Structure 1
Amino acid sequence: MSAHAALGVSGTPPLPHPAPPPPPPVSRAAAGGPMLQDADRLRFVGAATRRISRAMDLDEIVAGLCRAVLPSFSDGILVCLRDPLPVGDERPTGPLVLRLHRFDRAPAEDAGGVPFPEPGVPAPELCEVRPGSDLAEVLRGVRPVFTDSPAGRGALAELTGDGGVFALPDGQRAILAPLRGRRRVIGTALFLRRPESRPFELNDLLVAAQLATHSALGIDKAVLYGREAHIADELQRTMLPETLPSPPGIRLAARYLPAAESARVGGDWYDAIPLPGSRVALVVGDVMGHSMTSAAIMGQLRTTAQTLAGLGLPPQEVLHHLDEQAQRLGAEHMATCLYAVYDPVSHRITIANAGHPPPVLLHPGGRAEVLRMPPGAPIGVGGVDFEAVELDAPEGATLLLYTDGLVESRLRDVWTGIEQLREKAGTTGRLAGPGRPPALETLCDDVLDMVGPGDRDDDIALLAARFDGIVPGDVAYWSLEPEDAAPGQARRLARRTLSRWNLEELGDSVELLVSELVTNAVRHSSRPVTLRLLRTDVLRCEIGDDAPELPRLRRARPTDENGRGLYLVSRLAMRWGAARLSTGKIVWFEFARP
């Protein structure tokens, strides 16, 4: 550049231009809201979409959209969603109804002329979209529109209740953006700016379109994921016991907590199975992994365990057969399991373990101990022998069976968690007072309190068993030779025992049924027939023999000489049943105590 050009035509330096006046003060929302540069818009859209896409839940996605646009893009946002929201490829039935899901606004520095509802004045909750209306046409067009056009004003009035809530000034102060998912429109977002803010520009329609698209697709996936997770959770819960049984001599309580929302489908299970001879099997297991497959494998193993328990097999044999079943289901499927059988008559419990955390026994005085037993290999490894240990089960003691989600997490290893569980159970036991074991429900709740909200990475299954036992004076047991005199002998023994228990008024009915069942047992047995009476909250009678065939109830014809015994049992007894044992079978019936 020449010197003349630099100095001007006259050769003298040009006068400096006067400084431009400072811009008028604007509100914080107005200063940060309109973005005049394309680069700013791109950065904003990128940050906003990342924030929206991080969320997995429907409410989190809508909240992410609202937080992203306030106050950077708009001063207020109103989100309405279809009610009900269609899931996946479902075809919605009925009229299109939009329900207010969320309404957020940025704080205003100047309360004058705010085009939002006053505090306490709610936005319309529900809007039915009439076919052919302005709102229906805007939703059908999918693209965002300004609400200062005739169609936009009509759509806004229909959405917000004929304009009674939003009094917008002239200019492009609102954008109505339909939310379209994979298949259909699922709602709409209304972006608003106050009068003191700069109005929207044409390029802001592109920003609104991007926000609406990402939000709608995220909502679509969240609804679909929520439905699948709900179905999976329901499927898993239906595989768990609806209610726990109430066998004599033991009280039970259980808890099940799924893992975090992102991994809620697991393979933890618990069970309590009444066994012949008034015994009860206690089972807790954990299939490795979190998936629908894990839940399905859990259901198959639980069913197998129930079937094996009904055969009266010892705990180590049950685990052996479960191991074989897991291998048939696939070499990659493994599970840990603990199987215990409690006998309330002998006050003993037999436990076998397959790689599961050891149980904790809370004694009546408040002392808690971790039971020592062979750990065993997990189910599914194959070729491993399982061992069982037999322990005393003192009256008033409580056995806690659990899965590793209770004692292991990112913050602690499994043995630290087991020690914390022992201390927690002991503290609860001591607080109950000397000689008074804590209530089972209270104990379960206290134990679960040791797991903090951010400390639960896995499912938790907890089964608590309180051993009440059956005192020897409430049990009568005999072994009868399989001969013709056995039914009469059984009648006399039963009547004598009922008289000692002050249950004489049940004598005639009990004698009749005992005679019928002992007669049947003698007819089919080659070894001694057993007769046992138990007095708990009911009177229970058990007749055992070595014939494995279970009796079936049938209606005898007038000319039949046999077949009426079980009919009498079903008519007179409160409950009755039959179960196979490894050595034969047992037939039982119960009467309510007068």
Structure 2
Amino acid sequence: MTKRLGAGEGADGQAADGQHPAAPDALPRGSPGPESIGPGLTGAQTDRLRYLDAATRQIARGIDLDETLHELCRAAVPAFADAAFVHLYDPLPVGDEATPPRLLRLHTTDRISSQLPDAPRAQAAEVVHPTADGELAKLLEGGRPKFGDTPGMAVAAAELLGGAGPPPAAAPPGRRLIIAPLHGRTHALGSVVLLRGPARPDFTGDDMLVASQLATHTALGIDKATMFAREASVADALQRTMLPPSLPEPPGIRLASRYLPSSRTAQVGGDWYDAIPLPGNRVALVIGDVMGHSMTSAAIMGQLRTTVQTLALLDLPPDEVLHHLDEQAGRLGTEHTATCLYAMYDPVLHRLLVSNAGHLPPLLLRPDGRGEILRVPPGAPIGVGTGGFESTELHAPAGAALLLYTDGLVESRDADVLSGMERLRARLEAAVAASGPWALEALCEEALGTVGAGDRDDDIALLAARFEGIQPETVAYWYLAPRPQTARQARRLTRRTLRLWQLDTLAESTELLVSEVVANAVRFATRPITLRLLRSDVLRCEVGDDSPVVPRMRHARLSDEGGRGLFLVDQLALRWGATRVGTGKVVWFEQPLRDDQGPG
């Protein structure tokens, strides 16, 4: 980001300790440099060392690029020079990358003292095009500062300051200009130009050493800031790619989420959330937190999240999911533990099954606005290996909202977790009481309002769900014996149900699809198969059996007598799929409804 520092901004030139640095230009010309420090140290040398100590500490105080350059200008003007200009390559080289094209931009603009009122005042982000084999390019590659009256430096100064307007006499009379290259650990990064007005003494050889130290510490600060910014960018991208890019939209429930990284570290955390559609129109709500902030924590989080997704699709009870997750975490190593809460919502039965592995209990906002911290047995964290997880069944009334969150939302340096949970509950209760039922997005924003405006020590993950439920009259469910006559029976039940739902226009195609899927299930099933019809924004059909063999669509040859069933399903259905569950598999398909045929 390009930042402009105004001429009057911070003109006191205070050092990091709040005191005015000693002005080294007041020292006698030709006095010994820092390399001659010894018992005979003069007062001028002492002042120079004090200035360098304060200035370098002030430059090192910068965290990001703008702060580092701002502190350089504050340290240099007016204590050492009357104006300072900083140019940087764009883009800045990082690590072992090749040197960027010879293109410089003015990053931090003028820093002018009252002693140099006619100095050029550059506009931000003006571009300089140095000649590839010119004096400026040689200077930057060489890495050593030079005076403005050095042969060729007038040309280099004109290249640097030309974009800012005509420099004062191209190179000021005498030694009133220093160009100090900013050379990082491996690459030239840019340059700093220091100017003095006629009311001050010329720069001396000792001043050249001071300028060199200022440039060296600034270059190291730029290196640090650039690497920090790159690490923060990579860490943030890694964290976000491990979170769901979007939330599903299953019938009977509405979902919203938030994720806020810690503001005090560039390292990724282990917080995650997920929402996983399950057979039978149920949905799994998951939130977890791997302890620590590191790339390893993020990697463990990614593996645990993938494991949870795999276990969820097996349609296991929540306590079984956590049990197998704990076993998998043990294989990953015992040095990392995690907490996880797994909830399964059934919109038909208005039921919530919850199991907890050391995570914070969820918050339920009932339809009347009352908030309740759900009492769920906490269990041991994932990775401890003690197991003992329990599933708790709770009523999930239509209109209620459930909030799953990590400890960053409720824990801070001035409040413990229990106080934070009570504060969250009270805040949301008051908000609902004042404004009535809230949309989920607004509810998430209100929940985040409990977080202070200062730096956060931990990441925050939040998953919110509003239960809408599915009316029983929009669901039909049967158990059918695996017999040759079952397909015909399934067609008859489907036709009768669609007539009752006034979906006669879908009867013919749906009967055909149901017949093909049921006939395929009968071939492999040894126990009764299930047939479920659900009318929501689409007509959904699910056929379950006890065989784990998932059907695959193939193109039948002309001589084949079968093998065309799934091809018909693929052609006629809006969507279809097959999912393994703990008791076998579920094959499903969906048919579109007209606008006037939706849930009534």
Which residue does the alignment assign to 1:480?
480
Whether contact under 8 Å (1:272, 1:281) holds in the other structure is: yes
Q: Secondary structure at the match of 1:189?
A: strand
Whether contact under 8 Å (2:107, 2:125) holds in the other structure is: no
Shift of 1:148: 3.0
* CA spacing shift, 1:537–1:203, aligned 2, 3 Å: same
1:142 alignment partner AA: G
Is 1:142 matched up with 2:149? no
Q: CA separation in 2, counterparts of 1:159 and 1:549?
A: 72
Which residue does the alignment assign to 2:107?
101
Which residue does the alignment assign to 1:467?
467
* CA spacing shift, 1:104–1:410, aligned 2, 3 Å: farther
Which residue does the alignment assign to 2:519?
519
Which residue does the alignment assign to 2:263?
260
Alpha-carbon deviations, 1:62-108, whole Å to 9, x = none? 12212222322222211111111111011135x31111110242452
Which residue does the alignment assign to 2:17?
none
Shift of 1:419: 0.9
Say which of 66, 70, 86 aligns to 1:63. Answer: 70
Say which of 184, 197, 212 aligns to 2:187. Answer: 184
* CA spacing shift, 1:28–1:423, aligned 2, 3 Å: closer
1:446 alignment partner AA: E
Which residue does the alignment assign to 1:506?
506
Which residue does the alignment assign to 2:569?
569
Is 1:86 matched up with 2:93? yes
2:476 alignment partner AA: A
Which structure has the greater CA radius of gyration?
1
Q: CA separation in 2, counterparts of 1:405 and 1:161?
A: 51
Counterparts of 1:391-540 in structure 2, within 5 Å, are: 391-433=394-436, 437-540=437-540
Which residue does the alignment assign to 1:77?
84
Whether contact under 8 Å (2:126, 2:163) holds in the other structure is: no
Whether contact under 8 Å (1:186, 1:216) holds in the other structure is: yes
Q: CA separation in 2, counterparts of 1:140 and 1:266?
A: 40
Whether contact under 8 Å (1:333, 1:380) holds in the other structure is: yes
Whether contact under 8 Å (2:532, 2:541) holds in the other structure is: yes
Q: Secondary structure at the match of 1:280?
A: strand
Q: CA separation in 2, counterparts of 1:510 and 1:63?
A: 70
* CA spacing shift, 1:123–1:540, aligned 2, 3 Å: closer
Counterparts of 1:204-223 in structure 2, within 5 Å, are: 204-223=207-226
Q: CA separation in 2, counterparts of 1:282 and 1:198?
A: 72
Which residue does the alignment assign to 2:34?
none
Q: CA separation in 2, counterparts of 1:519 and 1:124?
A: 71
Q: CA separation in 1, counterparts of 2:299 and 2:493?
A: 50
Q: Secondary structure at the match of 1:326?
A: helix
Q: CA separation in 1, counterparts of 2:464 and 2:12?
A: 59
Q: Secondary structure at the match of 2:229?
A: helix
2:368 alignment partner AA: G
Q: CA RMSD in A?
A: 1.9
Whether contact under 8 Å (1:319, 1:354) holds in the other structure is: yes
Q: Secondary structure at the match of 1:372?
A: coil
Shift of 1:277: 1.1
Which residue does the alignment assign to 2:157?
156
Shift of 1:501: 1.3
Q: CA separation in 1, counterparts of 2:559 and 2:143?
A: 81
Which residue does the alignment assign to 1:224?
227
Say which of 285, 288, 293 aligns to 2:288. Answer: 285
Which residue does the alignment assign to 1:15?
none
Alpha-carbon deviations, 1:230-263, whole Å to 9, x = none? 1222112111101111111111111111112524
Is 1:375 matched up with 2:378? yes
Q: CA separation in 2, counterparts of 1:146 and 1:472?
A: 86
1:440 alignment partner AA: L
Q: Give the gaps of 5 or more residues in structure 2.
A: 1-10, 14-20, 28-43, 595-600
Whether contact under 8 Å (2:231, 2:266) holds in the other structure is: no
Whether contact under 8 Å (1:275, 1:281) holds in the other structure is: yes
Which residue does the alignment assign to 1:125?
126
Q: CA separation in 1, counterparts of 2:163 and 2:431?
A: 61
Which residue does the alignment assign to 1:3?
none
Alpha-carbon deviations, 1:329-365, whole Å to 9, x = none? 1111100111111111111111111111111111222
Q: Secondary structure at the match of 1:262?
A: coil
Q: CA separation in 2, counterparts of 1:423 and 1:250?
A: 24
Q: Secondary structure at the match of 2:69?
A: helix
Which residue does the alignment assign to 1:43?
50
Whether contact under 8 Å (1:555, 1:567) holds in the other structure is: yes
Say which of 338, 342, 346 aligns to 2:345. Answer: 342
Q: CA separation in 2, counterparts of 1:375 and 1:31?
A: 62
Alpha-carbon deviations, 1:167-196, whole Å to 9, x = none? 254232221100001112110011122333
Q: CA separation in 1, counterparts of 2:295 and 2:514?
A: 49
Q: CA separation in 2, counterparts of 1:334 and 1:162?
A: 57
Q: CA separation in 1, counterparts of 2:564 and 2:407?
A: 52
Whether contact under 8 Å (1:240, 1:271) holds in the other structure is: yes
Whether contact under 8 Å (1:258, 1:264) holds in the other structure is: no
% of aligned pairs identical? 60
Alpha-carbon deviations, 1:452-473, whole Å to 9, x = none? 2315110111101111110111
**Normalising to structure 1: TM-score of the pair?**
0.91
Whether contact under 8 Å (2:263, 2:455) holds in the other structure is: no
Whether contact under 8 Å (1:156, 1:162) holds in the other structure is: no
Whether contact under 8 Å (2:183, 2:190) holds in the other structure is: yes
* CA spacing shift, 1:28–1:284, aligned 2, 3 Å: closer
Which residue does the alignment assign to 1:20?
none
2:67 alignment partner AA: E
1:474 alignment partner AA: T
2:392 alignment partner AA: V
Shift of 1:227: 1.6
1:41 alignment partner AA: R
Shift of 1:264: 3.7
Which residue does the alignment assign to 2:25?
34
Q: CA separation in 2, counterparts of 1:123 and 1:334?
A: 49
Q: Secondary structure at the match of 1:548?
A: coil
Deviation beyond 4 Å, 4+ runs, structure 1: 27-33
Which residue does the alignment assign to 1:19?
none
* CA spacing shift, 1:192–1:123, aligned 2, 3 Å: farther
Q: CA separation in 2, counterparts of 1:392 and 1:31?
A: 73
Whether contact under 8 Å (1:410, 1:455) holds in the other structure is: no
Please, which moves more after superposition, 183-192 or 219-228? 219-228
**Normalising to structure 2: TM-score of the pair?**
0.90
Q: CA separation in 1, counterparts of 2:251 and 2:126?
A: 55
Q: CA separation in 1, counterparts of 2:118 and 2:139?
A: 22
Q: CA separation in 1, counterparts of 2:12 and 2:461?
A: 52
1:148 alignment partner AA: D
Shift of 1:163: 7.7
1:72 alignment partner AA: A
Whether contact under 8 Å (1:33, 1:197) holds in the other structure is: no
Q: CA separation in 2, counterparts of 1:114 and 1:124?
A: 22
Q: Secondary structure at the match of 1:430?
A: helix
